[in-house]
Amino acid sequence: MTAERLLTATGQPVQGPLLITPQVFADERGFFFESWNERCFRNDLMNDGVSAAEVECLQFRQDNHSRSSRGVLRGLHFQLLPEPQGKLVRCSVGSIFDVAVDLRSASPTYGQWVGTTLSADNHQQFWVPMGFAHGFLTLSDVAEVQYKASGFWNRDCERSLRWNDSTLAIQWPLQLAEVIEPLLTEKDAQAPMLSMLESMGEVFE
């Protein structure tokens, strides 16, 4: 496996999120790869500057699986303390554009985003650590997304950030999804802007 940082739209690397590319063994019969290896993942985090103590405390609490049709946008979601979540995301059917927004107020990239295409073809995974909002846009007719979460789902901690907040300026590839507007839940369509989350103290320190 290899892991790399992603760049913001302005070319700035963001510490935390990682794009993980597995080694795939393929031949005329099909393919095989390790979709999860704890030792490799922990090494990737430490190579990115995460302390050994923090890595040791990280455990995945639940696995989630979603199925979405073309043009569906889920997010941007995150959980606050005491049950924040890091997510290790992959797409096993179809393709998605996956996004993480830095909500760590002390971070030099606060309020900036990184994004990448995850697909059944590239087998890549996206690590979205605690302190980031996460969302994705479905690019294919159908996409199935699985992710490991480091915290349990907690309704009281769950928050959303508006997908089209102009201060974020996320470049969602709507043309690749072949839609003019994404398909959203009412909750996501009415999610607060970043400025409102700031005023309520609902960002990370």
Q: Report pLDDT digits (tens) over 150-202.
A: 999 999 999 999 999 999 999 999 999 999 999 999 999 999 999 999 999 99
Cβ pair 133, 68 in contact under 8 A: no
Q: DSSP letter at 135?
A: E
Peptide bond into 82 cis (omega under 30): yes
Question: Does the predicted model carry a pTM greater than 0.85?
Answer: yes
Cα angle value 65/17/99 (rounded, 5°):
60
* pLDDT tens, residue by residue, 1-40: 899 999 998 899 999 999 999 999 999 999 999 999 899 9
Cβ pair 134, 100 in contact under 8 A: yes
C-alpha closest to that of 184 among 63, 68, 85: 68
Count CB atoms within 10 A of the CB of residue 96. 28
Residue labelled with tokens 């892991």: 3
* pLDDT tens, residue by residue, 43-87: 999 998 888 888 888 999 999 999 999 999 999 999 999 999 999
Report the C-alpha gap between 101 and 190 in whole angstroms: 18
Active-site residues: which are they? 77, 147
Q: Which residue ranges form the domains of the chain, and what is each CATH number?
A: 62-199 (2.60.120.10)
DSSP 14-64: -SS-EEEE---EEETTEEE--S--HHHHHHHHHHTT--HHHHHH----EEE
